[in-house]
Structure 1
C-alpha cells in the first residue's frame, strides 16, 4: 500500500507541505535520521520507498 500516517506535533491546515526526507528552510532530514528513528539502516528506508513516489534530482 502507498499510505502512511505521521504524528504531527500540532494540527496543520489541509494542503500544508510536510517534508519527511530532505530540506525545508533551515531544517534537514536525512535517510540516516529517519533510519535511526525507525531502528533500521538508511538502505532499508531508501529501498522501501515505492516506485510510484516521484523522485527529483537537485544539484
Structure 2
C-alpha cells in the first residue's frame, strides 16, 4: 500500500555545489527542524521530505549549512557524511547561493 509523502522542492542542486553523495544521505533545516533529502540531488533541484503537520510554505528559508532554531548543520557535519574535509564542502558552493554571514 502506498503512503502519502509531502515533498518540498529546493531550487538548489549539484550545479550549486550540493554534493550528489548527499542524495538520500543529507538533510536541511527549515523553521528550526531537520528534514531529510530524498531521492537523487539533481542539477538544479533537491527534494526534501517534510511532514504534513509542519507549516512549510513557498519562500521559507532553507538552511543547508548553519543554524535554524536549536538545530544546526555544519560544514564539518556534511564533510563527515562525504568522507572529506570541510574546506571541500564550502569551496564547492556556487557564488549564486545566497549567504547570510553572522
The TM-score with structure 2 as length reference comes to 0.45
Instruction: Return structure 1 stretches of 4+ with deviation > 6 angstroms.
Output: none
Describe the SS at the equivalent of 1:8: strand
Choose which of 45, 48, 59 in structure 1 pairs with 2:92.
48
- Residue segments in structure 2 that go unaligned for 5+ positions in a row: 1-14, 17-43
Bigger strand fraction: 2
Q: Which residue of 1 aligns with 2:76?
A: 32
The TM-score with structure 1 as length reference comes to 0.70
- Residue segments in structure 1 that go unaligned for 5+ positions in a row: none
Which structure's relative contact order is higher, taking Cα pairs within 8 Å and 6+ residues apart? 2
How many Å separate the matches in 2 of 1:45 and 1:6? Answer: 20
* Per-residue deviation, 1:25: 0.6
RMSD: 2.1
Larger radius of gyration: 2
> How many correspondences in the alignment?
58
